[in-house]
Amino acid sequence: MTTTRPTVPPWGTTRPRPFPTTTLVPAVVAEIDPATQLGVARDRHGHVVALGGHGTGTAVETSTITSPDGQNGNDQGHDQSTDQD
């Protein structure tokens, strides 16, 4: 007796969807403000465009030191310190 299995498409081929619609974003020009030496973005009319803040950060981590025999008691751990704007 011969049985036939229903044809099931591979899992990955059932997942794709059409790309979402896109919108045209007007171009901006990036330049350096000579007075402040900071980057400034301007739209096509020459107006300054705010690009949103992303902040900056620094991190410091001390290294781990282990004594050669592992039993002298002078092992050091590690610590982290971070600072973000």
Residue 25 has pLDDT above 70, yes or no: yes
55-60: average pLDDT: 72
State the pLDDT at residue 77.
Answer: 63
State the pLDDT at residue 35.
Answer: 93
In a 3-state reduction of DSSP, which class is residue 49? strand
State the pLDDT at residue 7.
Answer: 82
Residues 6+ apart with CB under 8 A from 3: none
User: Residue 7 and residue 13: Cα distance in Å, rounded?
Assistant: 13
State pTM to two decimals: 0.33
